[in-house]
Amino acid sequence: MNVALITIGDEVLIGQIINGNAAWIANAVTRIGCHVVEHCTVADETTQLIQTLDRLRTSCDVLLLTGGLGPTHDDITKPVLAEYFSDVLVESEEWMTHLHEWMRSRGREVTRRNAGQALVPATARMLTNPIGTAPGILFDRDDVIVVAMPGVPDEMKGIMTDHVLPLLEEKLLQQGAPHTQYHTMLTTGIAESSLADLIGEPSQFLGTSTLAFLPNYQGVRLRIGVTGSTQHERDRERMRIASILRERAGRFVYGHDEQTLSQVVGLHLKERNHTVSVAESCTGGLLGAALTDVPGSSVWFYGGVLTYTNEAKVRELGVSPVDLATVGAVSEEVALQMAKGVREKFGTTYGIGITGVAGPDGGSPDKPVGTVWISVVGPTDHSTIKHSFGNNRRINRERSVGAALGMLWKMVR
Amino acid sequence: MNVALITIGDEVLIGQIINGNAAWIANAVTRIGCHVVEHCTVADETTQLIQTLDRLRTSCDVLLLTGGLGPTHDDITKPVLAEYFSDVLVESEEWMTHLHEWMRSRGREVTRRNAGQALVPATARMLTNPIGTAPGILFDRDDVIVVAMPGVPDEMKGIMTDHVLPLLEEKLLQQGAPHTQYHTMLTTGIAESSLADLIGEPSQFLGTSTLAFLPNYQGVRLRIGVTGSTQHERDRERMRIASILRERAGRFVYGHDEQTLSQVVGLHLKERNHTVSVAESCTGGLLGAALTDVPGSSVWFYGGVLTYTNEAKVRELGVSPVDLATVGAVSEEVALQMAKGVREKFGTTYGIGITGVAGPDGGSPDKPVGTVWISVVGPTDHSTIKHSFGNNRRINRERSVGAALGMLWKMVR
């Protein structure tokens, strides 16, 4: 079942807002087994919308539209669709009743502007919107389903969840045709090209499945796409591919799908009643922020120290002034002493120390911008590694956090 | 000048990642006066990409592509473009040298797989990518410019900023047609609707210009759009609108365009030889991370303490155990003591304390999720404010940082 998404609205087109709706819808319909073929964002403009409908109807079974259903002059979706399907707008008694109730429950009256929301195409199906004033509108013509939804994310999600996803699932079930589902394995501590070499030529084991390499600051994600007519078939194929990948690169795999390194590390720590604290220099709090991004992290994260000056490193973490004067703040010795110092200060199972040259200034021939020393100290073990990232301050900081979490994961798993 | 954006990649298509690149590019090219007509996201698939290029070339002057330039089997952009423009891929000596240097500086070797990155279409122009291994590629054929860039946001932004935006600005200048430029005034400490009331009915002073209210976690941005044939004309109109806005809401304006609150605060601190330190509970390092996001922040940011436990608040910051036991960790008293404690510990001009209930758990009837106390203490003055944000952990943390920076700005400006 081929699905295309059409986003209508200048505010998305000129980049005023990021199109989170498209990602949400694409993810939701892919999960149930639909095949998304295109996202298209167009202006609040009749001709362009009609051309887009014409074009996508020839290759798709379902068109999902968002935006342009509001009460102001630039909301064109409803009249354009009515015209496109040779329909007329009529006042819906049912929706007018809903509007009155909705307004009354908020201590407001239905104004003339709002009343326009009850005008709907005569032959369309209305999809109730529990949290807003604009209903979703569904046309089913010539085996193509066209659904228009409001652009407000929560209203769109409500209509998708209550109406559109169940309808599509039913259609998919009726078809019984093979469809594709996606799963992700998350790796850390290995570069994209090395991972590809480790896994070998994908065509030799993929069959009808697909494999994509998706790098980010925490590692490389492996996205597996499996196709089959039944859930059983798809599950079997997924397990086949996953077991090959695990056999070849399993030691780098820390989780799956939407998990983060912080979440996985947190799970391991919690399970063992272990705790962690952080001593950050160049990352300035970014590692603490990543760890505490996890709800409930207060059970295993005790705190940390941000030491942006040498004095603070000595005073707060017991770093040796002699080492600072001789080998310097960005060194193996100082990273290790920071990790040990914070571990002791907070009485945690693990301590992490990060010190580096984030840039753009502060680099030298032997310690260029991007040089970052990271140390993780545990009860029986410690590991201190020099990383050489690049010239970009933000990326150096993000990659330092990813690397530190990866090192911690290796020790706690 | 009509621009279309083409995003290539299954990970965007199936909603695994949100298409932030499209918004960034759309915003950047709109700002310099281009007209964005469509965003289109397609699969890593040859036929669909060629059809999309064919379609959009007829109505656009510029096509900006992102994605599909990596080193693995699913990266098709380069070979498809070469084929599309009847070109061949040849090894670029210049880029091979860059690759070797790039890898050497990271202590790695150029593998056979990486070496493929140096294969470029013979007749295309290469756009150097200072932070990654894939260059941008530019074709200029039949008065249509087609640029392919990596999908990694920072690499794309680097290539856009260094090459594509200057090129488009030059073309616009040659055209000399009236075009629209956008400028932004940044406000903090006032809600969108109050700011709108303060500014009054925009149609009474806008003329041919436009004004948009864009809220984010740091405040409300005012985007001014001015149209004119010459830079002089546009500058004059921009200054006219800006002076009206400053007259009515100037006391909330902290900066303009791409500035951040951290940058502006840093400028003020540096100018006065002042310094700041942070004591963070619920934000877990996010405030320190925001401050140290600014290059050169080590001059005015000394460090901080992340105290996720009550013990750490007492031990590290001298918070009163009695207050913790009676009024609790999320209170005016504790926020103030945290700010005072860290200010004293680090010997800085200002100290900031944040303590709150980020959620999703930990709320109570009198301190629901979203309750955050923030205190800023300076040499002569201090300010402690209770904020009531919402139910979302991530948003609560981001808004806490924005509010703390806004409070600090008020004190240091």
Shortest alpha-carbon distance between residue B257 and chain A (Å): 13
Shortest alpha-carbon distance between residue B316 and chain A (Å): 9
A185 touches chain B (CB under 8 A): no
Cβ separation of B316 and A303 shorter than 8 Å? Answer: yes
- The answer to whether residue A82 is domain-embedded is yes
Cβ separation of B40 and A37 shorter than 8 Å? Answer: no
What pLDDT, on a 0 to 100 scale, did the predictor assign at position B53? Answer: 97
- Same domain, yes or no: B152 and B240: no
- Give the residue-averaged pLDDT of B162-187: 89
Domain that holds residue B190: 179-256
- The answer to whether residue A236 is domain-embedded is yes
- In this structure, what CATH number is given to the domain that contains residue A300? 3.90.950.20
Percent of chain B surpassing pLDDT 90: 73
Q: Least CB-CB distance to A305: which of B43, B293, B305?
A: B305
Cβ separation of A309 and B298 shorter than 8 Å? Answer: yes
Tell whether the model's pLDDT for residue B71 goes beyond 80.
Answer: no
Say how far residue B84 (Cα) sits from the centre of its chain. 34
- Same domain, yes or no: A18 and A158: yes
Show residues of chain B in contact with A39, CB under 8 Å.
7, 12-13, 19, 39-41
Q: Least CB-CB distance to A312: which of B18, B291, B346?
A: B346
> What span, in angstroms and rounded, lies between the C-alpha atoms of A113 and A158?
23
**In A124-275, which ranges are E strands?**
125-127, 136-141, 144-149, 179-187, 210-216, 219-228, 253-256
- In this structure, what CATH number is given to the domain that contains residue B9? 3.40.980.10
What pLDDT, on a 0 to 100 scale, did the predictor assign at position A175? Answer: 82
A71 touches chain B (CB under 8 A): no
Domain boundary among A187, A221, A256: A256
- Same domain, yes or no: B11 and B85: yes
Q: What pLDDT, in 10s, does the model give residues A28-69?
A: 999 888 999 999 999 989 999 999 999 999 999 999 999 988
Q: Least CB-CB distance to B23: which of A17, A191, A283?
A: A17
> What's the token pair of residue A155?
């209203």
- Same domain, yes or no: B36 and B168: yes
Shortest alpha-carbon distance between residue B125 and chain A (Å): 24
Show residues of chain A in contact with B316, CB under 8 Å.
303, 305
Q: Name the nearest CA neighbour of B137 among B190, B67, B73.
A: B67
Show residues of chain B in contact with A8, CB under 8 Å.
none
- In this structure, what CATH number is given to the domain that contains residue A215? 3.30.70.2860
Q: How confident is the model at residue B109 (pLDDT cuts 50, 70, 90)?
A: confident
Which residue, among A12, A14, A275, would best test binding to B if mutated, counting the most B CBs under 10 Å from its CB?
A14
| Chain B residue at shortest CA distance from A365 | B105
SS3 category, B5:
strand
Shortest alpha-carbon distance between residue B385 and chain A (Å): 22
- Same domain, yes or no: A189 and A234: yes
Domain boundary among A256, A284, A312: A256
Show residues of chain A in contact with B280, CB under 8 Å.
285, 288
B292 touches chain A (CB under 8 A): yes
> What span, in angstroms and rounded, lies between the C-alpha atoms of B132 and A66?
35
- Same domain, yes or no: A66 and A153: yes
B94, B101 contact by CB (below 8 A) = no
How does the average pLDDT of chain B come out, rounded?
93
- Same domain, yes or no: B267 and B404: yes
A residues 233-272 closer than 8 Å to B (CB): none
Shortest alpha-carbon distance between residue A212 and chain B (Å): 7
- The answer to whether residue A263 is domain-embedded is no
Cβ separation of A13 and B38 shorter than 8 Å? Answer: yes
- The answer to whether residue A264 is domain-embedded is no
- Same domain, yes or no: A102 and A168: yes
Which residue, among B283, B292, B297, B405, would best test binding to A if mutated, counting the most A CBs under 10 Å from its CB?
B292
pTM of the complete model? 0.82
- Same domain, yes or no: A14 and A84: yes
Domain boundary among A175, A205, A226: A175
In the sheet that B219-228 helps form, which strands lie side by side, from edge to edge? B210-216, B219-228, B179-187, B253-256
Cβ separation of A182 and B16 shorter than 8 Å? Answer: yes
Q: Least CB-CB distance to B15: which of A26, A48, A211?
A: A26
- Same domain, yes or no: B184 and B169: no
A residues 18-37 closer than 8 Å to B (CB): 18-20, 22-28, 30, 36-37
- The answer to whether residue A310 is domain-embedded is yes
ipTM summary value = 0.82
Q: What pLDDT, in 10s, does the model give residues A194-220?
A: 999 999 999 999 999 999 888 888 999
Low-confidence ranges of chain A (pLDDT < 70): 71-74
B338, B319 contact by CB (below 8 A) = yes
Residue scoring higher pLDDT (B381 or A179) = B381
Question: Checking DSSP bridges between strand A35-42 and strand A2-8, what pairing results, if any?
Answer: parallel
**Structural domain count of chain B:** 3
Q: How confident is the model at residue B8 (pLDDT cuts 50, 70, 90)?
A: very high
> What span, in angstroms and rounded, lies between the C-alpha atoms of A340 and A333?
11
Give Cβ neighbours of residue B76 (< 8 Å, ≥ 6 apart).
B8, B44, B45, B46, B49, B68
B361 touches chain A (CB under 8 A): yes
| Chain A residue at shortest CA distance from B293 | A394
Tell whether the model's pLDDT for residue B189 goes beyond 90.
Answer: yes
Q: What pLDDT, in 10s, does the model give residues A149-195?
A: 999 888 899 999 999 999 999 998 888 777 788 899 999 999 988 99
- Same domain, yes or no: B380 and B298: yes
Residue scoring higher pLDDT (A98 or B320) = B320
Tell whether the model's pLDDT for residue B31 goes beyond 90.
Answer: no
Cβ separation of A312 and B306 shorter than 8 Å? Answer: no
- Same domain, yes or no: A208 and A291: no
